[in-house]
Amino acid sequence: MQDSYKIISSSILYWFSQKKWFVFSIIFALIFISLPTPIGLSVPAYHSLIILFMVFILVTSEAIPFPAIALLALVLQVLLGVAPADVVASSFMNDAVLFVMGSLMFAIAIVHQGLDIRLAKIIISIFGKSKRLFLAGLMVVSAVLSSFLGEHTIIAIMLPIGLAIIKNVDSSTPDGKNAILLVLFSIAYGTIIGSIGTPSGGARNVIMINYLQEFTTAERIDYWGWIQYAYPILIIQLIVAYFVLQFAFPTSLDNVQVQGYKRSIAKSNSATNIRHLFSCLIIGFIIASWFLFNQELGLGIIALCGVLIFMICGMVSWEVINKNTNWGVILLFAATISLGFQINETDASSWLVGKFNELTSFFPEDSSFSWSFMAILTGLTANFFTSSATTSLLGPMAIELQPNDISFGMSAAIASGFSFLTVISSPTAMIVYSTGLVSIKIFFRVGLLMFSSSILILYLVSKFYWVTL
Amino acid sequence: MNILIAIGGRKYSKPTLDLGMKVSNSFEASTTIAYVGKKISQFSEKDVSIVHQNLDERQLYRPGVRTLEWAYNFLKSKEYIQEEKVTTFNDYLLIDEEQSRMRVLLKGKHSNKINLILRTGEIIEQLRSEVQDNDHDITIIGGGNNKGMHHDLVQFIDSSVLVVKNYSVKKQYKILLPVNNSKGSNKAIAIAEQFAKANKLAVEIVTVLENKSSDDKLKKILERTEEKFSNAGIKNTATVLEGNVVKKIVENAGDDSIIMLGVSPKNPIMKYFFGSKPISIAAECNCPVLVAK
């Protein structure tokens, strides 16, 4: 009897120790719901902010699975009277959610084709003359591809190339360790930086385009329009990143084997060649469609078309896509986008912006201050909360700061792509960290330099270049 | 008997593996060496899994396999593993057994029963699940200065726990065996007897009196244990200490003892919020400590 009591209480304690943040978030919500609604805020708006805070705690602590957080956010919106069930359901699905779903599936289909060897051959033939040039090439190719196909796709393709060339590097010597870090960071920073370049580079970009269309009267920004805003930043960031990494990881690159790797991948067969050719045609067709038909069809539908073609051609099976798609993330993004819409609809975002303006009233009236605050806030939040979720929740507030100036919304979306500080901030960072070759401390130390310089680049470009567009 | 040895980075895992295999050989136990990889955020878990599948297809080492290879070679060099046929680590199979657990199968025959396991996730959660699913009797893990982790290990792992703190392969150790009237203490006595016999170690049996009515009982247990060890031909001393239990045991242990003591019989809820003597000893001592359950 006593033993079974001990087993039960030990199990309850273990559950509590694992789910303590969930319990705290519930207690927090109950306390705030029982308090009087703040002046100037409607009850639904107040409740939407309480749900926002709960979601923030639960996502950062990962106390319960993501699908459970998504369902909780939806259920609470209805139960706490934020919006009726029909409204919540209709805000749950839009092009941004379809894009998240389509891009995740499209990435799986592409990675399944084994294009890394083909890509490695191309990079070596163009940049293979010296090891440093090869690393610069890896970074540039990662950035360009990631700007169109998303960082989660490109890191999965590029990492095996990076790990293959550092296979024989001795990590116990400082020079070897730096060589490993230089190769891995070149790929990681290339893909992270690239993801800001086009709307299809990251779900946050598509989310912001949708918000700008819904919440402002400004003309809808299209695929090419986004590139005009973001690509100059991407190019400057790449140059800065190259030098930051050379400075952070000085190495002779002695045992990095570019030519050895070239010899090991020299063989190819015609069946693989045909498969690769078809894959490249499909990818090219989808990117062209994003350029040409994004206004009419939406980016999400076009991404789903890509998946459809791969499946119909028998180049990837549903089983592979179903097994590897992160359905939890899709549900979570859908729920946070729905919550973002309600925060805006209930005027909770206007109230927050009003409070922010009250707090900063003693500063000189200069939009640069509120711009900097918003860019740094979204950039930092994204490093602890991931970029897409940050944009979906803080995006409406960024737009509300200057509803007639899209540079606030654009800056918030782009700054949330500066996931240089933490390993949880983006799939790229987490994948590189999961190799066990990069520590959290090193990621933060180098990332701090990159993050600060990226914010500065964004500020200068928005101040002096965006105004000319 | 099943023994689980959890390893992390190579730098700190040598002492854990060495002491772990000594314990394992003492009991002729089946041994599982588990590498617990970094916890992956839910946002990226599928992306990471795709990349790892890609690495397997390209015959590039999946994270953790290199550490297991190093551990395997270390055990071979120390002759903890005897191979009937030369096996190289290049020839391995990864068997995806369940979510976040993979078995590394080496081709070739081994005389010892050694399992190599890769796990990914939060360490306490993974070890708890490994122990529950595979009925391990002792979990052996390297000890850092993370007191919170010692607390959680003793509290939540359903097996005896050996925390390998500040252990040197070259140093001569004795066993420090604090005894009392708890069930866990009896288990600790049994483990200490077997381990001391197999490794020819001296045992210092102690009991700490706190001016309570149970003091006489403790003295009798001390005498009985001393007799038991003497009859088994194990070199031992028996000492009665007085004062604060945690302080006295930590002082007596120094850095050349392996403390073996029983888990506290206290209610788990009380232990969680207020701690217990074995948890405090594990946190404060400067040597390996085994908490028997």
- CATH for B174-292 is 3.40.50.620
Higher per-residue pLDDT: A316 or A373:
A316
Q: Which residues of B touch A (CB under 8 A)?
A: 37-38, 40-52, 54-55, 57-58, 60, 63-64, 67, 120, 125, 128, 152, 155-156, 267-269, 272
Q: Does the CB of A14 have a partner CB in chain B at under 8 Å? A: yes
| Environment class of A252 (CB within 10 Å of its CB; exposed 0-12, middle 13-18, buried 19+) | exposed
**CA–CA separation, B199 vs B196, rounded Å?**
5
pLDDT at A298: 85
Q: Is the pLDDT of residue B125 over 80?
A: yes
Q: Which residue of B has its CA nearest to A426?
A: B44
Q: Are A333 and A389 in contact (CB under 8 A)?
A: yes
**Structural domain boundaries of chain B?**
2-142, 174-292
pLDDT at B241: 87
pLDDT at B111: 47
Picking from A60-69, A124-133, B73-82, B175-184, which range would have the lowest pLDDT averaged per residue?
B73-82
Calculate mean pLDDT across residues A25-30. Answer: 94
Higher per-residue pLDDT: A367 or B130:
B130
Strand B114-120 and strand B101-106: the pairing is antiparallel
CA A211 to chain centre: 17
Smallest Cα distance from B98 to chain A, Å: 14
Higher per-residue pLDDT: B41 or A193:
A193
Question: Nearest Cβ partner of A160 from B38, B49, B60?
Answer: B60
**CA–CA separation, A266 vs A260, rounded Å?**
10
Task: For residue A356, count other CB atoms closer than 10 A to its CB.
Answer: 17
Calculate mean pLDDT across residues B135-162. Answer: 84
**CA–CA separation, B227 vs B247, rounded Å?**
26
Cβ pairs bridging A and B (under 8 Å): 102
Q: Is the pLDDT of residue A158 over 70?
A: yes
Look over chain B and give the mean of its residue pLDDT values, rounded to a whole number. 84
Collect all residues of chain A within an 8 Å Cβ-Cβ radius of residue B155. Answer: 10, 13
Q: Is the pLDDT of residue A218 over 90?
A: no
Collect all residues of chain A within an 8 Å Cβ-Cβ radius of residue B45. Answer: 326
Q: Is the pLDDT of residue A175 over 70?
A: yes
Collect all residues of chain B within an 8 Å Cβ-Cβ radius of residue A326. Answer: 42-43, 45-47
pLDDT at A456: 93
Q: Which residue of A has its CA nearest to B62?
A: A435
| Percent above pLDDT 90 for chain B | 24
Q: Which of B46, B152, B158 to mutate to test the interface with A (most CBs of A within 10 A)?
A: B46
Q: Are the Cβ atoms of A9 and B267 closer than 8 angstroms? A: yes
- The predicted model scores a pTM of 0.81
Spatial CA neighbour of B291 closest among B257, B253, B263:
B263
First and final C-alpha spacing in chain B: 14
Spatial CA neighbour of B51 closest among A162, A419, A351:
A162
Higher per-residue pLDDT: B61 or A446:
A446
Calculate mean pLDDT across residues B206-235. Answer: 86
Question: Nearest Cβ partner of B38 from A66, A159, A433?
Answer: A433
- What b/e sequence results for A432-447 when a residue is b if at least 16 CB atoms lie within 10 Å of its CB, and e otherwise? bbbbbbbeeebbeebb
Amino acid (one-letter) located at B273: F
Q: Which residue of B has its CA nearest to A432?
A: B48
| Percent above pLDDT 90 for chain A | 45
Strand B92-98 and strand B101-106: the pairing is antiparallel
In tens, the pLDDT along A75-84 reads 999 999 999 9
Confidence of residue A365 (pLDDT cuts 50, 70, 90): low
Confidence of residue A358 (pLDDT cuts 50, 70, 90): confident
Axis crossing angle, helix A387-401 with helix A43-61, rounded to the nearest 10:
150
Q: Are the Cβ atoms of B58 and A159 closer than 8 angstroms? A: no
Q: Which residue of B has its CA nearest to A167?
A: B60
Helix (H) or strand (E) holding B164: strand B160-164
Q: Determine whether domain B2-142 maps to CATH 3.40.50.620.
A: yes
Q: Is the pLDDT of residue B98 over 80?
A: no
Question: Nearest Cβ partner of B55 from A9, A62, A163?
Answer: A163
Q: Which residue of A has its CA nearest to B41?
A: A424
**CA–CA separation, B278 vs B267, rounded Å?**
14
Which residue blocks in B27-140 are alpha helix, DSSP H?
45-57, 65-77, 123-134
Q: Which of B11, B13, B50, B151 to mutate to test the interface with A (most CBs of A within 10 A)?
A: B50
- Within 8 A by CB and 6+ apart from A373, the residues are A356, A360
CA B180 to chain centre: 22
| Percent above pLDDT 70 for chain A | 97
Question: Nearest Cβ partner of A160 from B55, B67, B269?
Answer: B55
Chain A, residues 48-77, CB within 8 A of chain B, namely 62, 65-66
